[in-house]
Structure 1
């Protein structure tokens, strides 16, 4: 079950990240929408409703979750860049995945949103100074601060993590 839930393993933050690593994370974030779009392009309505694991979200929910999560991520990053160590507001991801917009909006809407959002996000990160990469926010659920380097690493992982859910299901189902 662990391999189904964490197809690329769990996120493991590092003490620090090199400029080359940050460039790789930015590219991962920039490329994610295209990879998601390619992963779901030939799936039908039935397949989009299939959970990637028992008790997990269906593919449609995963795609909409990526948009919801990454909207929050860029907003949190911008808060950290413009405020002094802001305390961010967590949200209930599971409850968001059950809202009517997720159930009644075609995934191409969230994929289009991801393309635009990730372009803006990558453009922002490409231009951060070393000092800006050190800026941080406080996540109250974790009780600690996260600098922009860790945020970039985490969301590069997050995108690959959910892409792995989609690709793994397709592989297991022979789609």
Structure 2
């Protein structure tokens, strides 16, 4: 398998030009159920298996789980900022450096799983109660120098869920060959 396929096992995110209600509901469902999918594939993993990587020089399983908690906390805050402010500028963060901090390398993923469960419950609640005007609200990302609608961002994070779930599954499937 090529390195690009290992890095992006579900492909890169491409937002459709037209986001239908069906697409939007599918994305919301992915965000709602992500924590239970992660729990299902990581349940009962040994410390050894949590060290397995999905690609050479990639993160190990525990770093992926901790990263998802970090990333999705940031995403939820960005959503709330966009819902309550006019095109706020969000704060990027060094996710690679965060993944190397002690909480990003901890063998105990249970707390990150708890974060994901609670966070995704709250995020899902917000998403279900947004109206069309809310979906068109934006935030500005200073790295890309672009504003993004919340409608497109929910798709990005649904993709992010699939992307990292595939990383975990790939690491387990290939039994630490990387």
Please give the range of the TM-score, normalised by the shorter of the 2 chains.
Answer: over 0.9
Q: CA deviation at 1:49?
A: 1.1
How many residues of Structure 1 are paired with residues of Structure 2 in the alignment? Answer: 174
Superposition pairs for residues 13-162 of structure 1, below 5 Å?
A: 13-104=15-106, 106-162=108-164
Deviations 1:15-50 (A, max 9, x none): 231111111111100100000001111321011012
- Give RMSD over aligned pairs: 1.2
Gaps of 5+ in 2: none
- For the residue of structure 2 that corresponds to 1:138, the secondary structure is strand
Spell out the pairing of 1:161-172 with structure 2 (5 A cutoff): 161-172=163-174
Instruction: Give 3-state SS (helix, strand or coil) of 2:174's partner.
Output: helix
Residue 52 (structure 1) shift:
1.3
Range with bigger deviation, 118-127 or 9-18: 9-18
TM-score, scaled to structure 2? 0.95
- 1:173 counterpart SS class: coil
Q: Tell me the TM-score normalized by structure 1.
A: 0.96
Which stretch of structure 1 is more off in the superposition, 152-161 or 35-44?
Answer: 35-44
Q: Is the 8 A contact 2:50 2:107 kept in 1?
A: no
Structure 1 segments, 4+ long, off by >6 Å, are none
Q: List alignment gaps of at least 5 residues for structure 1.
A: none
Equivalent residue, structure 1, for 2:11: 9
